[in-house]
Amino acid sequence: MKNLNFQQQISKEKLKKLKKNLKISDVLCQLLINRGIETYSEAKEFFRPQLSMLHDPFLMTDMKKAIDKINNIIKENKKIRIYGDYDVDGTTSVSMLYDFFLNQKVNCDYYVNDREKEGYGMSFLGIDDAIKKNVNLIITIDCGTSSHKVIEYAYKRNIEVIICDHHEPSQSLPKAVALLNNKIRTSNYPFSELCACAVGFKLIHGFVLSNNLDEKIAASYLDYVSIATISDIVPIEKENRVLAKLGLDIINNGKSVFSYFMAKNRGKKITSSDILFQIAPKINSAGRMAHAKIAIDLILTRNTDDFKNKLEFLESLNNKRKIEQDKTLTEARMLIDHNKKSIIIFKENWNKGLIGIIASRLLEEFSKPTIVFTKYNNKYFGSARSLKGVNIYKVLKKCEELISQFGGHEFAAGLVIEGNKFLNFVELFESQLYINNDTLNNNLFLSESEIHFGQITTSFVKILSQFEPYGPQNPEPVFKSKNVFVQDLKYIGVNKEHVSLTLFQQNDPILFFKGIIFKKAKLLKSINPSKSIDICYKIKENFWRDVKSIKLEILDLNQNN
């Protein structure tokens, strides 16, 4: 079972001290220490984050310039446009900023690119539209850092620009009124890994403070920030954990529009997994299959009946997305050259909106840096994804002489290549890629602790659930158990690719747990049910017909001989 790895031996003294202070089990203490939490005060901050733990927004470079400009525009009753990207981070950001300024009686509108016609980043079409609508100030969100020419075009037409972004900047920066991006070299902000929506939240917080408004107004938008932070796969640590945790609490208190995205599971506690695999794909499907405005319109809808109808339409788009995605993924697998260090594939007329998902799926499946391209009008449009240890943005930077346009960050990027440069790019990218075994091992399942089934109690699971929300730097804990037996095995799903089963352990044959294996039915094909197995799994709270139970999601297993 290659995927079962253990953390290095942790100090018994640290474990003993933390256990004494927190009065919880060795296993839970080990999980905390693995996350760098070794004291009572650190554990308190981890489990009970407070608004007071957020950094002052005016620590952000150019924040005062941005707020001063916005205040002046409002005083002169000029028009502001919120200009955002079409993914979850972008659409939640646009919805949040537009709703906030609308509630402040500001003259404003919003704009999101058409993925097919305009692609990522600010577009000349977007500026032309702003001119027609008499816009005086554009506030970009989740784009703008690499839009030098478009911003220059806007300025020549008397439209000023404030950039709120989190993507990696190039050596030269665009000439904006203010650039709120903690990744620029001159930034002194204490944390550089905020998603775009969190940067937008900082702008709101700064505006609230400068205008002596109640800080609760800013805090009421943390549900938007939580959705974006979790969906954009940024590290869930430090300030991001505070933002994501407090926002998730708002969603679970039923005080958020996002609570209703899970209407069919009302009463169930919404988790980071629900956001990643149920809410985010629905929001994303608008920009992938039609236009992101559909998702923004839904998020801004307050009438219950209208919301229900619009959500049904969005879900229908998401269902179409799933069908097309499955077809594309099957085609993509057939094009992979398994002798290469990376996966670079393309097919003409693949849906631009799906290539990012396909790249993510192939990365998960093959643990190799992946770029999936589609081709339109002799241009290759690509979406790149990478694993820990391979900074995809830096690798692309080494290839920029062959790239027309690109932007992104360590784990994800988008790019455009002219047709006659594509083959040279493929060769250069592969040559610039250095991957060692340690990098590949980082993508394997890491079992943090070996436990026996008797330790999986209701109180244990209750405390475990408080490790939410999960993400990079705070992965969902994975456990290992030995000498497990399987019974009541059922293959389920349309293609019988999932497995439902019942599990018990040799040393406690009367304690049973339900288990599930997703998309890996082949793991059980060669298993002898009369012999025990070792399993690697996550502990899940299952909710069915108002009854809560514990279920084990099995990631890998190994037959004992």
Summarize pLDDT for 218-228 with one digit per residue, the tens.
Answer: 999 999 999 99
State how far the Cα of 17 lies from the Cα of 22, in Å rounded to an integer.
9
Confidence band, pLDDT 50/70/90 cuts, at residue 203: very high
Confidence band, pLDDT 50/70/90 cuts, at residue 3: very low
Helix or strand holding residue 414 (H, E): strand 412-418
Chain center to CA of 435: 24
**Burial track 340-366 (b if 16+ CB lie within 10 A, e otherwise):** eebbbbbeeebbbbbbbbbbbbbbeeb
pLDDT of 441 higher than 80: no
Tell me the sheet residues that pair with 454: none
Confidence band, pLDDT 50/70/90 cuts, at residue 377: confident
Structural domain ending residue among the three candidates 403, 420, 441: 441
**pLDDT tens profile 100-156:** 999 999 999 999 999 888 888 899 999 999 999 999 999 999 999 999 999 999 999
Tell me the sheet residues that pair with 540: 551
Q: Please count the other Cβ atoms lying within 10 Å of the Cβ belonging to residue 7.
A: 13
pLDDT of 524 higher than 50: yes
Which residue, chain included where needed, has tokens 């003294």? 13
Residue 322 counted as domain residue: no
Arithmetic mean of pLDDT over the chain: 91
Whether 103 and 237 map to the same domain: the answer is yes
Helix or strand holding residue 549 (H, E): strand 547-559
Residue 17 counted as domain residue: no
pLDDT of 275 higher than 80: yes
Whether 422 and 531 map to the same domain: the answer is no
pLDDT of 403 higher than 90: yes
**Which of 311, 276, 272 has its CA nearest to residue 295?**
311
pLDDT of 177 higher than 90: yes
Whether 78 and 214 map to the same domain: the answer is yes
Domain with 369 in it: 335-441
What six digits make up the tokens of 257? 């529009």
Burial of 207 (0-12, 13-18, 19+ CB in 10 A): buried
State how far the Cα of 118 lies from the Cα of 133, in Å rounded to an integer.
19
Confidence band, pLDDT 50/70/90 cuts, at residue 444: very low
Confidence band, pLDDT 50/70/90 cuts, at residue 349: confident
Q: CATH number of the domain at 421, please.
A: 3.10.310.30
State how far the Cα of 197 lies from the Cα of 177, in Å rounded to an integer.
19
State how far the Cα of 536 lies from the Cα of 555, in Å rounded to an integer.
6
Confidence band, pLDDT 50/70/90 cuts, at residue 340: very high
Whether 500 and 459 map to the same domain: the answer is yes
pLDDT of 286 higher than 60: yes
Q: CATH number of the domain at 101, please.
A: 3.90.1640.30
**Which of 208, 294, 307 has its CA nearest to residue 256?**
307
State how far the Cα of 548 lies from the Cα of 393, in Å rounded to an integer.
43
State how far the Cα of 192 lies from the Cα of 415, in Å rounded to an integer.
23
What secondary structure letter does DSSP report for 447? E
Confidence band, pLDDT 50/70/90 cuts, at residue 559: confident
Structural domain ending residue among the three candidates 386, 415, 441: 441
pLDDT of 400 higher than 50: yes
Whether 121 and 181 map to the same domain: the answer is yes
pLDDT of 171 higher than 90: no
**Which of 532, 478, 526 has its CA nearest to residue 504?**
532
pLDDT of 262 higher than 80: no
Extended strands (E) in 447-518: 447-450, 478-492, 498-505, 508-517
Q: What is the mean pLDDT of residues 312-336?
A: 95
Whether 175 and 128 map to the same domain: the answer is yes
Residue 122 counted as domain residue: yes
Residue 281 counted as domain residue: no
Whether 463 and 413 map to the same domain: the answer is no
Residue 266 confidence (pLDDT): 60
Residue 181 counted as domain residue: yes
State how far the Cα of 331 lies from the Cα of 349, in Å rounded to an integer.
12
pLDDT of 253 higher than 80: yes
Which residue, chain included where needed, has tokens 């340690």? 438
Whether 209 and 247 map to the same domain: the answer is yes
State how far the Cα of 143 lies from the Cα of 244, in Å rounded to an integer.
21
Whether 460 and 412 map to the same domain: the answer is no
Residue 535 counted as domain residue: yes
pLDDT of 2 higher than 50: no
**Single pTM value for the model:** 0.89
Residue 143 counted as domain residue: yes
Q: What's the number of domains the chain is made of?
A: 3
Structural domain ending residue among the three candidates 417, 441, 465: 441
Residue 241 counted as domain residue: yes
The residue type found at 191 is: F
Helix, strand, coil shares, percent, the chain, to 5: 45, 20, 35
Cα–Cα separations (whole angstroms), residue 537 to 66, 362, 394, 554, 556: 47, 22, 34, 4, 7
pLDDT of 455 higher than 50: yes
pLDDT of 179 higher than 80: yes
Percent of the chain with pLDDT over 90: 73
Whether 97 and 165 map to the same domain: the answer is yes
Whether 437 and 482 map to the same domain: the answer is no
pLDDT of 437 higher than 60: no
Residues sharing a CB contact under 8 Å with residue 300, sequence separation 6 or more, in sequence order: 95, 98, 99
